[in-house]
Structure 1
Amino acid sequence: MVNRNDPRQYDELAEEWWKPNGAFAMLHWLAKSRCALIPEPARADAVLVDIGCGGGLNTKHVSGYRHIGIDLRQPNLRLAADHGLAAVRGDALRLPVADESADVVVAGEILEHVPDWRAAVAEACRILRPGGTLVVDTLADTWLCRFVAVTLAERMPGGPPPGIHDPALFVPPQALLSECAGFGVTLELWGLRPAALSLVRWLVRRRGEVPMITTRSKSILYAGRGVKHAHGSAHGRRDA
């Protein structure tokens, strides 16, 4: 039996990444929502680092950047490279990227999959240039999220693959705000959810796209964007 959140699950699910109505359908919807938060590149050689890039779904919605994808699993990296990423094998807890070298850092649906989300945040902030943008989305450490994202969703047709999440790793929104602030990144957070009617149609027909809409509640899925101040905390600095 495979443990919850075992990264080897992604090797077995690699063929699902680019199926818009497959096991990772919601990740397609999230990728579009997430990438809408990415600013236009401010310079010709702007760098975007995509932490936990998976199969490279963000490439559908990002242009103008040197787009670097970092992931632990080789099948994911091969797919990401096929879709235009500069794919690099690396751990979110120790990124193979130099300090303050990224104009944008994206951490989409990755913080709830690492054993130490605070260390992953420290790394994301370390590699971000002053004035650069951090974009995140993750699952909240609440009883409601545990019920919806695990107990309910894993039993629902079209929901996440069983065992893909470990609720013990979910991230408290207020703690994420505080952690980022310690590194000079002021985040704004908001809740996200699939548009209800579109989701019902998708569950019935298993085709089409479901828009992600913002909500006041951050008790299940939430997203955020922030900018790194010029004089953020220096702890955790290192070169690649």
Structure 2
Amino acid sequence: MEKIAPEVYDRIDNDLYNAKGDLWWNPENVLHILKTSVNPWRVGIARDVFRKLGFDPKGKKALEVGSGGGILTEEIYGMGFETTGIEPAEESIRTASEHAKAMGLDIRYEQGTGEHLPYADASFDCVFCCDVLEHVSDLPRVISEIARVLKPGGIFIYDTLNRTFVSKIVAIKIWQEWKRWAFMPPNLHVWEMFIKPEELKVLLAQSGLEWKEHRGSEANVSIPKMLGYLRKRARGEWTFVELGQNFRLVESKDMNVLYAGYAIKKS
């Protein structure tokens, strides 16, 4: 997989993350759904990976690439890591820093991109990159940089969207475009930037990262019920709070839309 063509990358609305106001911790905003409905799935997988590997996060150093407003970063910190988050959007960093300070959490936030991580080689025991890889302009470079800052034997944990017919219907049409159900802003995601698992495996291998496994996801309710929930929100009958209270992702073998995985940096 090559660097994203400029005409494709220009279609994605990454400027959203620089919008004024708290897009992340305010439960009335769409991005808070990531905390209530997606984090339990991705954090659960991370904790299971650590148990499987016999890896104790306490005292280890972790980096989150694309940390946004800190809704996953704070969970990483809660695992026991000495935690750093890096994010290109200044407003998101401000939100994350203010929330961490208010909560008394010693998290370091810095502005920067995954393509140019401002850290020395072998700086971190674990790197997280979740809901981010499908947003970057140069995916091979980001993977290479993540591998560079990982210590030998370090763990890379990620999740991203698969480029399938199903993901075009679900993540683009239903989530963003079809007004009957849409709850995300237009162009929050661009389907051509989604990543097939086999493509990601190749990039991992090229950067000296040994792929270990992928896991899928699905809604905790049936598809008709999920569409009903989205319809209620679109009509104004439900807020994002109510949507988040009733919908969450659970682990599944289905990798047609959102999937997670991990890899180990070769010694």
Q: TM-score range by the shorter chain?
A: 0.7 to 0.9
- Whole-Å Cα distance in 2 between the matches of residues 165 and 67 of structure 1? 27
TM-score by length of 1: 0.84
* Partner SS, residue 8 of structure 1: helix
- % of aligned pairs identical? 26
Match of 1:18 among 3, 7, 25: 25
1:79 aligns with 2:104: no
Unaligned runs of 5+ in 1: 231-240
* Partner SS, residue 120 of structure 2: coil
Question: Is the 8 Å Cα contact of residues 137 and 223 (structure 1) preserved in structure 2?
Answer: yes
Question: Is the 8 Å Cα contact of residues 177 and 187 (structure 1) preserved in structure 2?
Answer: no
Between structures 1 and 2, the one with greater helix share? 2
- Whole-Å Cα distance in 2 between the matches of residues 218 and 44 of structure 1? 31
User: How many residues end up aligned between the 2 structures?
Assistant: 228
Distance 1:56 1:201, change over 3 A: farther
Question: Which sits farther off after the overlay, 175-184 or 3-12?
Answer: 3-12
Question: Which sits farther off after the overlay, 48-57 or 58-67?
Answer: 58-67
1:150 aligns with 2:172: yes
Question: Is the 8 Å Cα contact of residues 161 and 257 (structure 2) preserved in structure 1?
Answer: yes
Q: Which amino acid aligns with 1:126?
A: R
Q: Deviations over 1:40-68 (max 9, x none)?
A: 87375411101000000014423221211
Aligned to 2:254: 217
User: By how many angstroms is 1:200 displaced?
Assistant: 5.9
- Whole-Å Cα distance in 1 between the matches of residues 97 and 246 of structure 2? 24
Q: Which amino acid aligns with 1:110?
A: V
* Partner SS, residue 174 of structure 1: helix
Equivalent residue runs for 1:119-198 within 5 Å: 119-154=141-176, 155=178, 157=181, 159-182=183-206, 183-197=208-222
Question: Is the 8 Å Cα contact of residues 135 and 193 (structure 2) preserved in structure 1?
Answer: yes
* Partner SS, residue 138 of structure 1: strand
Unaligned runs of 5+ in 2: 1-9, 101-106, 233-237
1:229 aligns with 2:243: no
- Whole-Å Cα distance in 2 between the matches of residues 202 and 77 of structure 1? 31
Q: Deviations over 1:52-94 (max 9, x none)?
A: 0000001442322121111111001111112333111111111
* Partner SS, residue 145 of structure 1: helix
- Whole-Å Cα distance in 2 between the matches of residues 175 and 51 of structure 1? 20
User: By how many angstroms is 1:145 displaced?
Assistant: 1.2
Structure label with greater radius of gyration: 2
- Whole-Å Cα distance in 2 between the matches of residues 91 and 141 of structure 1? 23
Question: Is the 8 Å Cα contact of residues 180 and 187 (structure 1) preserved in structure 2?
Answer: no
TM-score by length of 2: 0.76
Question: Which sits farther off after the overlay, 211-220 or 61-70?
Answer: 211-220
Question: Which sits farther off after the overlay, 142-151 or 178-187?
Answer: 178-187
Question: Is the 8 Å Cα contact of residues 209 and 263 (structure 2) preserved in structure 1?
Answer: no
